[in-house]
Chains A and B, each alone.
Chain A
Amino acid sequence: MQIDLRTVTIKPLRQTFDNIARRIGADKPASRYQEGTLDMQQTANFHYRPTWDPEHDIYDASRTAIKMADWYAFKDPRQFYYGAYTLARAKQQDTAEANFDFVENRGLAGTLPESVRKTVLELLLPLRHVAWGSNMNNASVCAYSYGTGFSQPHIYQAMDQLGIAQYLTRVGLLLGDVESLDEAKRAWMDDDAWQGLRRYVEDSFVIKDPVELFVAQNVALDGLLYPLVYETIIDDVLSSQGGTPVAMLTQFMTDWFTETRKWADATVKIAAAESPENKEVMARWLSQWRDRSAAALLPVARIALGDRSDEVLGEVVQQFNARMAKAGVAL
Chain B
Amino acid sequence: MSTVFLALQTNEETRPIIEAILQDNPSAVVDEQPAMVKINADGRLVVRRETIEELIGRDYDLQELQVNMITMSGNLDQTDDEIILFWKS
Is chain B in direct contact with chain A in the complex (CB below 8 A)?
no
Residues of B near any A CB (own CB < 8 A): none
Residues of A near any B CB (own CB < 8 A): none
